[in-house]
Amino acid sequence: MAAQENALNDPIIICEDVHKWFDDFHVLKGITTSFQKGERAVICGPSGSGKSTFIRTLNRLEEHQRGTIIIDGVELTDDLRNINLIRQEVGMVFQQFNLFPHLTNLENITLGPIRVRKLTKTEAEEIALSLLERVNIADQAYKYPAEISGGQQQRVAIARALAMEPKIMLFDEPTSALDPEMISEVLDVMRELAHSGMTMLVVTHEMGFAREVADRIMFFAEGVVIEEAAPADFFDNPQHERTKLFISQTLQH
Amino acid sequence: MEDQELTQEIKPPTNTKGAARWLKDNLFDTWYNAILTCLALVCLFFALKGFLTWAFTEAEWDVIPANFRLFMVGSYPQEQIWRVWNAIYILSALMGLSAGLWGGLVFRFAVALSGVWFISALLPVELSTRGWCLGAIAMIAVSFFLGRGRTGLRPWILGGWILSFPVIMVVLRGFGENGVLTSNWGGLLLTLILAVVGIVVSFPLGVFLALCRQSDLPAIRWVSTTYIETVRGVPLITILFMGNVLIPIFMPGLDINQVLRMMFGITFFSAAYMAENVRGGLQGIPRGQHEAAQAVGLNYVQTTLFIVLPQALRSVIPAIVGQFIALFKDTSLVAIIGLIDLLGVARSIINNPDWLGLQAEVYLFAAVIYFIFCYAMSYASQDVETGLGIGHI
Amino acid sequence: MENNSPTAASGKIPFWRDVRVLRILFQVIFLLGVILLLTLLYTNMLKGLRGLGLTLNLNFLQDEAGFGISEGIAYNPSDTYFKAFWVGVLNTLKVSIIGIVCATLMGLFFGIARLSSNWLIRTIAAAYVECFRNVPLLLQILFWYTAVVGQLPKVRESISVFGGAFINNRGIYLPSPEPASGLNTWLWFLGAGLLLAVILYIVRWRQLQQLDRPGFRAKWALPAFLIVAFCGWFLTPGRPFTLDLPALQGFNYQGGMRFTPEFSALLVALSIYTSAFIAEIVRSGIQSVVKGQREAARAVGLKEGQTLRLVILPQAIPIIVPPLTSQYLNLAKNSSLAVAIGFPDLVSVGNTMMTQTGQAIPVFAMIMVSYLIISLTTSAAMNWYNSWITRIGR
């Protein structure tokens, strides 16, 4: 497939037959895929298709009940050490930002580096300020999350994830909770990140962003990957009926 | 008054000032309000007249100054009273420094406290007492100016407040036979000690129990829930009786005196209620906060300490202060067990043949003291509540 | 597309790193700690009890109590300990139930007064609430008992209220209704009235359903029942009830209903103290709904009374009921302060049993179980009321 052709055949994420149930509800029905280092994958699909659950299993916010997940050579099991290792290598950005409201934006970013990476406060703040610069909100460092706009909060959240110097970034519908005029400022930051070579898995409905940035688009429905292809193929030559329907519906908006 | 907004239309800005206008708006705006006002005035007149006549002609207030020391410190020996003053001075110094550092509410409390000492010094008391009182004011004032503007001292002072608790206990108790046995602690002093010990110890215990009850490990959750619900199902007095009777049975070797037993009872009782208050705050923390903390790589202890508790405790400050007020009032129950706390002193004075028939005077005085402390706490709580805006969604 | 096999060997995880094992281990250690503590206390207790020459069982409940109880259902000192405890339970229930009714009524009154547009009424209500909730209940009980009830005149100088009720330092004496000859006939009237009411209720319900309009279903049934009951009272030959008036005989009043000084002081203090808290609950409950809602209701064109009945109360009651329930439970638990003035409630009786028999642990267990039953019943009743009232409001 298109993504594999130009890749180095050096997968950083390997998933084999990943299953997940919520009580009796079978959310993930055997996902088998892999992602290359530096690959930018966009995951889309109707709500309830398991796409969010899938990326949440990758840093153990959800536990997969069958199958294997290997991230950067470390298998995700009940081994506490592996879980901690993987969480440090995988950054995550949430739909609702989930910033810590009792900490300033700067403290939000430095918390992980100080407590987990054991950096000194000065080192952590230096990193945080340069990251805030990178996401274009250095002037908001000493404000609280409640005092800035949604788009700015999401950018702080991205900076917070980057501060852990992850190898992989997961985005769980990062623009869905934003007002329309703020979506582009977040997408700009993500675009810049993509160009820097970060491995990114993005769950999103922003099809323009997908077409422009993604190496590969995966289409989820009812817990399985129905179709995956490079953006050009995906949009212009969809194979599946479900995919066609989905594309026609999303592009109408 | 915030109530006013609800029931009153906003009047045009003309002629909004003046007593007559205010009277009309607030007391006589409708015919039934006018009738209500008149009725209330008549009732109030007779109630006040009855009370004032009693208070100024019949009541024998001599009983209060004559037993003032008893009310304050119970049977704490006279020659050791300097210990109490030393404790007060430690607190005054911290109060003054805090007033200088934080201002606002603490400053207002410091001023009020100085006022209390000033009035005490004006009362017909012994010369030495008068000196101690004025000294306390000086202490507050000096430390206020020392602390003013030096924000770098803040963490030290907070540490000082925490440290002051054991220090004061040692100062009050002294050592061995030369000190003052806890059985001699009494009056308002004992009430305050019981309340502070109860608050200081039951708070961490309650947080711990609440965390256990919210744990996803079933065994821990069940044990904590059983404890909390059992204690909450029983009246405090039963727990105090239990502490009094059962602690000696359960711990045959140890000689745990009655004050300590009551402290145990009050603390274990209060912890269960504290746990429920804290749990309310814990439940209010969105799942996303836990997830974000995990995604950053924090472990359970770090998530709890840096993310969950700061938010949860902040949101339940009013409930916790309410709990403190309840605890302060509840300490009066030790009088039933036989300790001579503030209420115990009141009871013993009434039973003293020298002061027969003065129940109303004595209880009223005790009530006023309890009221002042409770009201001050709820006032502080409201003030803190309004100051909570920032850093909070 | 997958050509890589998993690279990391999924071999055995050391147990100190395995989340699953750690979870179980943690719980086992915790439980062991708790069990160890309990065993330690238990063995200590057995040792202590042996030292006192006691064994742990409930047989003592069958023994003769040998102490008197000043009020409650028929009981004498030769009855068993169990009977004595039962008297205490009933006394607790009596003071709690009456107290809950009084506290609710007073709390409602002062809570609504706190929201009055009249400044004076509002201020008086606020002063009432602040005064009574910031002073310990025990102090209030002692105050009412020694400084008010205890200072009432002697029996010979009793205060008489309309010649039917008497107040003195031995208690409060009220006339009580006694069943008389006409009761049976009147009960027939009541039965007929009830039947009529049920029929009218159903008719009205059907009608409302047909009209497809909301309304008060008991609009006809309630007045009909009251009219029948009222007419029946006068049509019955002989009165259904006679009033038993208390009268001075010898050194005290006989007949009628008597509230002892202990009961009266406890009831007054409990009612006032709890009513201050209920007033705050009512006030904040209504206030939390009123903001915004009242304007919305006016915008829809509802009248003030309709706003209260259709918009504010249905929303305020679910907010008010849970804290109200815990106040009711507090009142029941607080009634245990009766022990300070010698009213024989269950804690007070239990306390006496404990000192007489030394059986502290069984008695504590009995007290705990009693309160547990009271709590569960009250919660269940209040939950039922809450769901019922929210259904009615819809």
Task: Give the CA distances from residue B144 to residues A147, A157, B156, in Å, rounded to whole numbers and listed in that order.
Answer: 34, 42, 15
Domain with CATH 1.10.3720.10 in chain B: 206-393
Q: What pLDDT score was predicted for residue A134?
A: 93
pLDDT higher than threshold 90 for residue B372: yes
CB A32 within 8 A of CB A17: yes
Give every CB contact of residue B47 below 8 A, 6+ residues apart in sequence: none
Residue C14 CB-density burial (10 A; 0-12 exposed, 13-18 middle, 19+ buried): exposed
pLDDT class of B3 with cuts at 50, 70, 90: very low
CB B33, CB C117: distance < 8 Å: yes
- Are A11 and C8 inside 8 Å of each other by CB? no
Q: At what angle do helices A150-162 and B287-296 cross, to 10 degrees?
A: 30
Q: Which of A179, A190, A180 is nearest to A157 (CA)?
A: A190
What global pTM score does this model have? 0.84
Return the number of other C-beta atoms located less than 10 Å from residue B293's C-beta. Answer: 23
CB atoms within 10 A of CB C175: 18
Sole residue written with tokens 């009766």: C338
**Residue B116: count of CB within 10 angstroms of its CB:** 14
Angle at C372 between CA C367 and CA C373, to 5 degrees: 100
User: Tens digits of per-residue pLDDT, B178-230?
Assistant: 778 888 888 999 999 999 999 889 999 999 999 999 998 999 999 999 999 88
Q: pLDDT grade, residue B69 (50/70/90)? A: confident
Q: Closest approach of chain A CAs to the CA of B298, in angstroms?
A: 6
Among residues C66, C142, C72, C141, which one has the least CA distance to residue C344?
A: C72
Does C4 contact A81 at a Cβ distance shorter than 8 Å? Answer: no
Q: What is the pLDDT of residues B296-341, one digit of tens each?
A: 999 999 999 999 999 998 888 888 888 999 999 999 999 999 899 9
Residue B108 burial (CB count, 10 A):
14
- Mean pLDDT across A157-161: 95
| Mean pLDDT value of segment A19-39 | 92
Q: What is the pLDDT of residue C58?
A: 77
Residue C17, chain A, CB below 8 Å: the answer is yes
Q: Supply φ then ψ for residue C392, to 5 degrees.
A: -60, -40
- pLDDT-derived band at B8 (thresholds 50, 70, 90) equals low
Handedness of CA A45, A31, A93, A195 (dihedral sign): negative
Q: In which residue are the tokens 């030790």 written?
A: B334
For chain C, percent of residues with pLDDT exceeding 70: 92
Tens digits of per-residue pLDDT, C294-331? Answer: 667 666 666 666 777 777 777 888 888 889 998 999 99
CATH code that applies to domain C81-155+262-393: 1.10.3720.10
Alpha-carbon Rg for chain C in angstroms: 29
Closest chain C residue to the Cα of A80, Cα to Cα: C17
- Rounded-to-integer distance, Cα B200 and Cα B206, Å: 10
Closest Cβ–Cβ partner in B297, B307, B314 for A164: B297
C11 interfacial to chain A (CB closer than 8 Å)? no
Residue A243's Cα: distance from chain center in Å?
22
Mean pLDDT of A142-155: 94
pLDDT beyond 90 at C271: yes
Instruction: Give the model's confidence band at B388: pLDDT under 50 very low, under 70 low, under 90 confident, else very high.
Output: low
Element counts in chain C: helices (H) and strands (E): 11, 8
C10-38 pLDDT per residue, tens: 457 787 788 888 889 999 999 999 999 99
CB atoms closer than 10 angstroms to residue B384: 15
The overall average pLDDT reported for chain A is: 90
Which positions in chain C touch A227 (Cβ < 8 Å)?
A: none
Tell me which chain A residue has its CA closest to the CA of residue C14.
Answer: A79
Token duo for residue A44: 């889309």
Average pLDDT, chain C: 84
Residue of chain C whose Cα is closest to the Cα of B24: C118
Name the residue facing A73 among C1, C8, C10 (closest C-beta). Answer: C8
Closest-CA distance, C52 to chain B, in angstroms, reads 9
CA distance B134 to B92: 12
Q: C97 is written with which tokens?
A: 């139930």
Verify whether the Cβ–Cβ distance B294 to A116 is below 8 Å: no
Q: How confident is the model at residue B1 (pLDDT cuts 50, 70, 90)?
A: very low
For residue B309, give the chain A residue with the closest CA: A102
The Cα B221–Cα A189 span in angstroms is 44
Give B-chain residues touching A157 at CB under 8 angstroms. Answer: 292
Please indicate if any CB of chain B lies within 8 Å of the CB of A198.
no
Chain A residues inside the 8 Å CB shell of C22: 80
* H-helix segments, A38-179: 51-57, 80-89, 105-115, 121-134, 150-162
Residues of A in contact with B296 (CB under 8 A): 87, 111-112, 116, 160-161, 164
Per-residue pLDDT, B178: 76
Whether the pLDDT of residue B391 is over 50: the answer is: no
| Model pLDDT, residue B5 | 46
| CB contact B258 to C (< 8 Å) | no
Burial bucket for residue A191 (CB in 10 Å: 0-12, 13-18, 19+): middle
Q: Is C328 left (phi over 0), alpha (psi -120 to 50) or beta?
A: alpha
Q: State how far the Cα of C374 lies from the Cα of C368, in Å rounded to an integer.
A: 10
Q: Residue A32 and residue A108: Cα distance in Å, rounded?
A: 35
3-state SS, residue A74: strand
Calculate the CA B109 to chain-centre distance: 13
What is the arithmetic mean of pLDDT over C202-229?
81
> What's the pLDDT band for C356 if we cut at 50, 70, 90?
confident
Closest residue on chain C to B363 (Cα): C143
Which of these ranges, A48-57, B127-136, C211-220, has the smallest mean pLDDT?
C211-220
Domain locations along chain C: 81-155+262-393
CA-based end-to-end distance of chain A: 29
Give every CB contact of residue A68 below 8 A, 6+ residues apart in sequence.
A14, A15, A16, A17, A18, A75, C6, C10
Tokens of B91: 């607190």
Q: Return the beta strands (E) in chain B as ranges.
A: none
DSSP of C244-291: E--EEETTEEESSEEE-HHHHHHHHHHHHHHHHHHHHHHHHHHHHHHH
Mutation pick from C25, C27, C284, C374 vs chain B, by most beta carbons of B within 10 Å, is C27
Alpha carbons within 13 angstroms on the beta-carbon side of residue B151 total 2
Name chain A contacts of B298, Cβ cutoff 8 Å: 111-112, 115-116
Give the contacts of C197 (CB within 8 A, at least 6 positions apart): C218, C221, C222, C224, C225
Fold topology of B206-393: MetI-like fold (1.10.3720)
Alpha carbons B238 and C162: distance in angstroms, whole number: 42
pLDDT band for position C385 (cuts 50, 70, 90): confident
Residues paired with C259 in a beta bridge? C172
Mean pLDDT of B31-36: 83
Collect all residues with Cβ–Cβ distance below 8 Å to A167 and sequence separation of at least 6.
A12, A37, A72, A89, A90, A199
Q: Which residues in chain C touch residue B235, judged by CB atoms under 8 angstroms apart?
A: 333-334, 336-337, 347, 371
**A60 to chain B, closest Cα gap in Å:** 9
- Using DSSP, state whether A202 is helix, strand or coil: strand
DSSP assignment of A49-73: SSHHHHHHHTTTSS---EEEEEETT
Give the whole-angstrom CA distance, residue B140 versus residue C283: 40
Chain C residue with minimal CA distance to B25?
A: C118
Which one of B287, B290, B296 would you mutate to disrupt binding with A, by most A Cβ within 10 Å of its Cβ?
A: B296
Searching chain A, which residue's CA lies closest to the CA of residue C22? A80
Give B224's contacts (C-beta < 8 A, 6+ positions apart): B209, B212, B213, B215, B275
Confidence tier at A7 by pLDDT (50, 70, 90): very low
